[in-house]
Structure 1
Amino acid sequence: MHAATLPPRDLLLALAVVAVWGTNFVVIRIGLDHLPPLLFAGLRFVLAALPGVFLVARPAASWKNLAAYGLLIGAGQFGLLFIALRSEIAPGLASLVVQVQVFFTIGLSIWLTGERVRGYQWAALALAVAGIGVIAGHTDATTTPLGLGLVILAGLSWAGGNMVARASGVRNMLPYVIWGGLFSAPPLLALSLVLEGWDAIRDGLVRADAATWAAVLWQSVGNALFGYAVWGWLLARHPAALITPMALLVPIFGMGASALWLGEPLPAWKIGAAALVMTGLAIGVLYPRWRRP
């Protein structure tokens, strides 16, 4: 029988995962000081997939499903996110805006199943859209309309990846993420060669220092392997209602880390926008669980 609350050890593990996922946006920005974005994203998936595919059995998913997931999460979510983070959006705001994937996932699920949109979902969406509108009204040199659009598209790609993963029927996400990486790395590296060019790739690899490679490892080992392994382990031991709401803390870690490490300012409008988006996310994620006895 599952406990109604998380024991201290498991609570700390859950917080460790969301801390890694939240601070990941700052780590990406540090790595982008030397590596071109598409190359950086490609290296992330190379190290997440290798040598893992030789150590972990292929999940019970079709090659077509794995390829769709790899393309949506790799070239879609992370490719667009890395491009935006290079110079088009502040990491803290990116960690917040990309959470619109929750609403895209709900929308895609409703569209595919024909389920009626419920009142609390409209309310949650309205709050989140209002928060994004506040951000759009304060675009500047650190957060441009292009950067905002790229991160929203990254959230849409993430939602598409969520739907593909759900359709696979796989419960253990770690092998799925590792094998899906086989289809993420090649298009990212090919796009890097075509769009960024060999000179930029060579210069990036030559200039990469210890902090750059630590950022790549944080992405692959920390964000992907550690994050999904521990999250999956927690979900196997506890009800999803106890674990999944913890992910709402990701933007808090993201914005806090960006303010502390990179000096990203937190003016009143940004805090207000975050409050609107986070309230919308909380309603969308938690309200159905609050209604259950």
Structure 2
Amino acid sequence: MPLRDLFLALGVVLLWGLNFVAIKWGVDEISPYLLTALRYIGCALPAIFFVRRPNVSWGLLIAYGMSVGVLQFSFLFSAIGLGMPAGLASMVMQMQVFFTLGLAALLLGERPTPLRLLGAGIALIGLCTIGAEHIGGAVLVPLLMTLLAAFFWSVSNIVTKRAGNQVDMFAFVIWGSLVPPLPMLALSLLLEGPGPLLALPFVSPQAIFSVLFIAYGSTLLGYGGWAVLLGRYPANLVAPFALLVPVVGFAAAFVLLGEAVSPLEMAGSLLIFFGLLLNVFGPRLLARLRLA
């Protein structure tokens, strides 16, 4: 992977790690379903008027919008709204890496190398280390909802791969953002009533910043960059980068939300980082050693 794309991947990681803090700020004042709808309205508008529709079927665009927008984020935002800590949510969401590896092998025929499997295994130990002191105290329903969100993230990764590497991935994300707003607005009105919608004019500047960051930072820039990477590289190479998101997520939650980082969380983060390094750079180093 060239240095340019490596920096792109790390930039996406930074945006997504900070995103969990923004979500926490958002759901403190805006209902989860309405926040999801606002996220994708902001992502689609006004960009939809300046970006041509990508050369893919409406079926793929709808599948992408449903998996990443309606399903992934409705579950994630609801889980955080129900009390899932932002730092812990950033960790649990990285189960998408292992869901993606499995789905890519099952549906796309991608076979990860033994070295990448080892890297993923070390990272999984890191995730379990971080989660060891939290799982017992986490509310079961928000935890399961976050795992479901991680699964639907992996589904969106496979849909993105199906779109192919000849597609304008930035346009793919923008046009796919047309899908979630109406279903999420309907769910908000059906399950929460008109109250959250009527309260929107009275939210704080912090909540407004949250919506803008989630829409333009995390979604447009983050998922746009992620889609570009998935278009260029195998899913089993790109997906493990997201293992760094909980490292950023825990740090951001500590600084901005006051969520403490324990020695176990620090140890787990280091294991995740080592597993990612092995996954990304291990095959290249092994090839060089064979040539030496």
| Coarse TM-score class (shorter-chain normalised) | 0.7 to 0.9
1:186: which partner in 2? 182
What percent identity do the matched residue pairs reach? 37
Over 3 Å counting, the alpha-carbon distance change for 1:148 and 1:279 in structure 2 is farther
- Counterpart CA distance in 2 for 1:286 and 1:72 is 30
SS in 2 for 1:182: coil
Superposed CA deviations along residues 259-288 of structure 1, whole A, max 9, x for unmatched, are: 001011111222233334444444444434
2:14: which partner in 1? 19
Does the CA contact (< 8 Å) of 1:34 and 1:208 recur in 2?
Answer: yes
2:156: which partner in 1? 161
Q: Which moved more, 1:278-287 or 1:100-109?
A: 278-287
Over 3 Å counting, the alpha-carbon distance change for 1:290 and 1:197 in structure 2 is farther
SS in 1 for 2:29: coil
SS in 2 for 1:103: helix
Over 3 Å counting, the alpha-carbon distance change for 1:271 and 1:114 in structure 2 is same
- Counterpart CA distance in 2 for 1:116 and 1:20 is 29
Give the aligned residue type for 1:88.
G
2:97: which partner in 1? 102
Give the aligned residue type for 1:101.
Q
2:33: which partner in 1? 38
In the alignment, structure 1 residue 52 sits paired with structure 2 residue 54: no
Over 3 Å counting, the alpha-carbon distance change for 1:61 and 1:129 in structure 2 is same
TM-score by length of 2: 0.82
- Deviation of 1:66 after TM superposition, in Å, equals 0.4
In the alignment, structure 1 residue 250 sits paired with structure 2 residue 277: no
1:149: which partner in 2? 144
Does the CA contact (< 8 Å) of 1:172 and 1:232 recur in 2?
Answer: no
1:201: which partner in 2? 197
- Deviation of 1:97 after TM superposition, in Å, equals 2.2
Give the aligned residue type for 2:191.
L
- Counterpart CA distance in 1 for 2:30 and 2:247 is 26
Over 3 Å counting, the alpha-carbon distance change for 1:45 and 1:136 in structure 2 is same
- Deviation of 1:118 after TM superposition, in Å, equals 4.8
Aligned residues: 284
In the alignment, structure 1 residue 267 sits paired with structure 2 residue 262: yes
Over 3 Å counting, the alpha-carbon distance change for 1:284 and 1:196 in structure 2 is farther
Superposed CA deviations along residues 28-82 of structure 1, whole A, max 9, x for unmatched, are: 1111110011110110001101222221100011000100000000012211111
In the alignment, structure 1 residue 68 sits paired with structure 2 residue 86: no
Over 3 Å counting, the alpha-carbon distance change for 1:285 and 1:89 in structure 2 is farther
Over 3 Å counting, the alpha-carbon distance change for 1:121 and 1:175 in structure 2 is same
SS in 1 for 2:63: helix
Does the CA contact (< 8 Å) of 1:139 and 1:145 recur in 2?
Answer: no
- Deviation of 1:116 after TM superposition, in Å, equals 5.4
Give the aligned residue type for 2:215.
S
1:88: which partner in 2? 83
- Counterpart CA distance in 2 for 1:287 and 1:262 is 36
Does the CA contact (< 8 Å) of 2:251 and 2:261 recur in 1?
Answer: no
Give the aligned residue type for 2:190.
V
- Counterpart CA distance in 1 for 2:249 and 2:269 is 11
SS in 2 for 1:97: helix
